[in-house]
Amino acid sequence: MREPVIAGNWKMYKTTGQAVQFAEELKAADLPGGCRVVICPPFTALHAVAGILKGSPVELGAQNMHHLEEGAFTGEVSPLMIRDAGCRYVILGHSERRQYFGETYRGVNLKVVSALEHRLVPIVCVGETLQERESGRTEEVVSRQLAGSLAGLEAGQAGRLIIAYEPVWAIGTGRTASAADAQQVNRFIRDLLAESFGRDTAQTVPILYGGSVKPDNAAELMARPDIDGALVGGASLDVGGFTAIIRAAAGY
């Protein structure tokens, strides 16, 4: 049985003070067992939030990183730095990074390899645009993205990943993929992982769904066999909504 994972992607929201307040409230909330909970605040709040989360089962992740440990790369943050700030997870290849910051899957691949070398758990995002879905290319696109970002990995490394299927048209739009559609793509991703890394590895990798996950649609999504949790954007900014999603996931 794969333990569900609920990861909150805060994007460019919350000052340090707001992030600390959220972390204190989440720590004090009565969270159910049986669900891994990760929050991914902006870089500026990581260290302070790590301090609050000490002794709590809630874990910490970053939203991006450079693949090198240090160097003349103005504006970038390295795997050593996010580890130092208290992170165990890092979101890689989010569609907003690809859309607005020119990230490619070749670049994502370097980051995935580096994150694993630094004992970080990469949350690797894949997902098609609306145009790609409407032209029937979802599987082709997702399989190319997955092959690109996981190139060169061995089964042992792949077994330490988390994958998030995030259809671009469902992110921040209020349009969720139907649970049946999300299950179909998540299942397809698991089959691809099995082809590349073997069935045992594929069975252990949590495959999340992301894109307008809310308290009122979470349970239906989580009930599907290949949806092992959610990467939550907007609804992760509010402690009440986020804990409701965690409860929905813990029920499966």
Interface positions with ligand PGA (CB under 6 A): 9, 166, 171-172, 210-213, 231-235
Quick one: 170 or 197, whose CB is closer to ligand PGA?
170
Q: Enter the tokens of residue 190.
A: 């698991």
Residue 154 Cβ vs ligand PGA, minimum distance, rounded to whole Å: 28
Query: Closest-CB residue for ligand PGA?
Result: 233
Residue 31 Cβ vs ligand PGA, minimum distance, rounded to whole Å: 20
Quick one: 77 or 237, whose CB is closer to ligand PGA?
237
Quick one: 116 or 168, whose CB is closer to ligand PGA?
168
Measured distance CA(198)–CA(42) in Å, rounded = 35
Which of these is catalytic: 59, 103, 132, 166? 166
66 is catalytic: no
Mention every residue, 6+ apart, whose C-beta is less than 8 A from residue 10. 19, 39, 40, 41, 42, 63, 236, 237
Determine the length of the chain: 252
Quick one: 197 or 227, whose CB is closer to ligand PGA?
227
Measured distance CA(93)–CA(126) in Å, rounded = 7
Distances (CA, A) of 94 to 24, 133, 192: 27, 18, 20
Residue 234 Cβ vs ligand PGA, minimum distance, rounded to whole Å: 4
Which of these is catalytic: 94, 96, 103, 132? 94
Distances (CA, A) of 168 to 16, 102, 134, 135, 142: 28, 15, 12, 14, 11
94 is catalytic: yes
Where b means 16+ CB within 10 Å and e means fewer, 164-194 reads bbbbbbbbeeeebbebeebbbbbebbbebbe
Measured distance CA(90)–CA(111) in Å, rounded = 10
Annotated catalytic sites, by residue? 94, 166
